[in-house]
Copies of this chain bind each other. A is one copy, B any other.
Amino acid sequence: MMKTIHPSFEQAVNEIKDYSTIMVGGFGLVGIPENLILALVKSKVKHLTVISNNCGVDDWGLGLLLKNKQIDKMIGSYVGENKEFERQVLAGELEVELTPQGTLAERIRAGGAGIPAFYTPAGVGTPLAEGEEVRTFDGQEYLLQKGLQADFSLVRAAKGDRYGNLVYNKTARNFNPMIAAAGKVTIAEVEELVEPGELDPDHIHTPGIYVQGLIEGSQEKRIERLTLRQ
Q: Contact residues of A with B, CB < 8 Å? A: 106, 110, 113-121, 137-138, 140, 142, 146, 167-170, 173, 200-203
Contact = CB atoms under 8 A, between A and B. Distances in A.
A170 B201 CA distance: 8
Given A137-B146, A146-B137, A170 B202 contact: yes
Contact of A169 (B106, B170, B202): B202
A140 B116 contact: yes
Given A170-B202, A202-B169, A203-B203, A118 B121 contact: no
Q: How many copies does the complex hold?
A: 2
Contacts of A137: 116-117, 146
21 contacts: A110-B118, A114-B120, A114-B121, A115-B118, A115-B119, A116-B119, A116-B138, A116-B142, A117-B118, A118-B118, A118-B119, A137-B146, A167-B202, A168-B202, A169-B202, A170-B201, A170-B202, A173-B202, A200-B203, A202-B203, A203-B203
